């Protein structure tokens, strides 16, 4: 899957990942390959993604996520 994390100032991350865990308004949720399409508001918290065998985290203050066709696009506030 392709993950894109974009802030108003910069591209925070863009690359291939095997999973992404996001802080949604109704709780944390994980996106895996072939996940159903969705759009969600993100609460302040941590985005965690697995790139290869490494797990990385990014603290956020909120934003939006769009999941479609194995592309996860995160727009940060």
- Where in the chain are the domains? 2-76
Tell whether the torsion through CA atoms of 37, 76, 13 and 26 is positive or negative. negative
Report pLDDT for 27. 95
Report pLDDT for 53. 93
Q: Which residues of the chain have pLDDT under 50?
A: none
pTM of the model: 0.94
Integer Cα distance of 36 and 13 in angstroms: 22
Report pLDDT for 10. 95
Integer Cα distance of 7 and 26 in angstroms: 22
Report pLDDT for 32. 98
Report pLDDT for 24. 96
The fold of 2-76 is ATP Synthase; domain 1 (2.60.15)
């Amino acid at each position: 899957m392709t993950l894109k994390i974009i802030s108003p100032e910069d591209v925070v991350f863009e690359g291939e990942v095997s999973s992404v865990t996001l802080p949604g308004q109704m709780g944390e949720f994980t996106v895996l390959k072939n996940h159903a399409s969705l759009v969600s508001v993100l609460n302040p918290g941590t985005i965690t993604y697995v790139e290869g065998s490494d797990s990385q985290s990014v603290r956020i203050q909120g934003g939006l996520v769009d999941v479609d066709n194995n592309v996860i696009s995160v727009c940060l506030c």
